Amino acid sequence: MRLLVTGGAGFIGSEFVRSTLSEHAADQVTVLDKLTYAGNLANLESVAGDTRFQFIQGDIADPAVVERALRGCDAVVNFAAETHVDRSILEPDAFVKTDVVGTWTLAEAARAARVQRFVQVSTDEVYGAVLSGASVETDRLDPTSPYSASKAGGELLVMAAVKTYGLPALVVRGANAYGPYQYPEKLIPLHITNAIDDQPLPVYGDGQQRRQWTHVADFATGIDAVLRNGVIGEIYNVGNPEPEDSLLVNLDVSRRILSLLGKSETLLQHVVDRPAHDRRYRVDASKLVALGWKPRWTFADGLEQTVRWYAEHQEWWRSIKSGETHQTYYARNYADRSAFAR
Ligand SMILES: NC(=O)c1ccc[n+]([C@@H]2O[C@H](COP(=O)([O-])OP(=O)(O)OC[C@H]3O[C@@H](n4cnc5c(N)ncnc54)[C@H](O)[C@@H]3O)[C@@H](O)[C@H]2O)c1
């Protein structure tokens, strides 16, 4: 298969590229990535010399770039997106441009190029907060943030293209991912790297939000299963099937990180909560399991591995955290939050 992977220089996209090239010897992969603040060629260093791999820098919202990148490709996996909820609250326009308009531009170009498969990577956040039970793919969408609303817009457009034009597309709704190479603004890598540096760990509100932490390697194999075995026009949830109590609420995730690093809980700092912060998400991934998906990581093992990875790859995240882009965002996002609030 010749694949176009958009957003392949990001966290999950780069894991998908690395695992595709190692698991599928006959596949070729072209990555199209704009290299926003979140894109990082260092994430693709291990495959850069592979003759089956090609990198193009460009925007999925640019029709000419997308048309060129698609030449000769059989399938597309669209990871490209603005992905951080806090940034979507500060600067929503970029989310609409990439996650809605960019997705549509890519879907239209894929239709013209007559690709055989188009996988749209979406999020469980499109369901909104789910206070009990688990979301199934037919549940109504109720996104809360500009991020989740933009992702919902993108996937609805893709599904409309399936129905209207016969685009051979599928949608994957993923739970919160964690693991190596995640940009250190999201909860787990932010708290690990702050803890390593003895900096405060900002805890939003009471820290009792619940997420279905899913290891990035399992997330990537879930997408692979949908790409190769999924039924066109269908939506598949991907999320860690472990029992809920083994996944921990956010505050306990942070405590576990501190304990793994031998740091004091005095580093925990409750700050003003994110507006409209969803309390809980959980998806039912049995439809994906029925396709043959077998997740391998428990959260306990995966968190330990992730903490170790950040401790051993400090050059990777220190260059990001010391950069102006990260520092400007961090100051802006946390400046008015320092008051203790629970
Ligand atoms: N991280 C999670 O927990 C999670 C959970 C569910 C779904 N998702 C979805 O998975 C996908 C990947 O998430 P991630 O965490 O790896 O994101 P990321 O922020 O780490 O990476 C996003 C990548 O997309 C690229 N990009 C952004 N705008 C682009 C554009 N206009 N054109 C081309 N490239 C562009 C960036 O340069 C970056 O390499 C996203 O679609 C996201 O919505 C993520």
pLDDT of residue 339: 53
pLDDT per residue as tens digits for the range 143-172: 999 999 999 999 999 999 999 999 999 999
Q: CA angle, 258 as apex, 257 and 260 as ends, to 5°?
A: 65
147 as an active site residue: the answer is: yes
124 as an active site residue: the answer is: yes
226 CA distance to ligand 1 middle (Å): 18
Q: Is residue 246 over pLDDT 90?
A: no
pLDDT of residue 245: 83
125 as an active site residue: the answer is: yes
CATH number of 2-178+214-238, picked from 3.40.50.720, 3.30.1490.190, 2.80.10.50, 1.10.579.10: 3.40.50.720
Q: Which whole number is the average pLDDT over 49-72?
A: 98
Distances (CA, A) of 21 to 8, 17, 116, 136, 196: 12, 6, 19, 31, 33
Residue intervals in the chain for CATH 3.40.50.720: 2-178+214-238
pLDDT per residue as tens digits for the range 266-317: 999 999 999 999 999 999 999 999 999 999 999 999 999 999 999 999 999 9
223 CA distance to ligand 1 middle (Å): 14
**Distance between CA atoms of 70 and 76, rounded to whole angstroms?**
8
**Distance between CA atoms of 17 and 47, rounded to whole angstroms?**
8
State the pTM of this model: 0.98
Options 59, 86, 124, 224, the catalytic residue: 124
**Is the CB of 152 inside a 6 Å radius of any atom of ligand 1?**
no
Residue intervals in the chain for CATH 3.90.25.10: 187-210+244-277+300-337
Measured in whole angstroms, the distance separating CA 336 from the mean position of its chain's CA atoms is 27
37 CA distance to ligand 1 middle (Å): 11
Q: Where are the alpha helices (DSSP H) in the chain?
A: 11-23, 63-70, 85-90, 93-95, 103-112, 146-165, 187-196, 216-229, 250-261, 286-289, 299-312, 314-321, 324-334
CA-wise closest residue to 75 among 114, 108, 38, 25: 114
Q: Which whole number is the average pLDDT over 109-123?
A: 98
Q: Candidates 36, 83, 247: which one to mutate for ligand 1, based on the most atoms within 8 Å of Cβ?
A: 83
**Is the CB of 43 inside a 6 Å radius of any atom of ligand 1?**
no
Q: Candidates 32, 36, 135, 181: which one to mutate for ligand 1, based on the most atoms within 8 Å of Cβ?
A: 36
244 CA distance to ligand 1 middle (Å): 26
CA-wise closest residue to 295 among 189, 177, 209, 181: 177
**Distance between CA atoms of 233 and 41, rounded to whole angstroms?**
33
CATH-assigned architecture of domain 187-210+244-277+300-337: Alpha-Beta Complex (3.90)
Residue with tokens 């998908």: 16
Q: Is residue 338 over pLDDT 80?
A: no
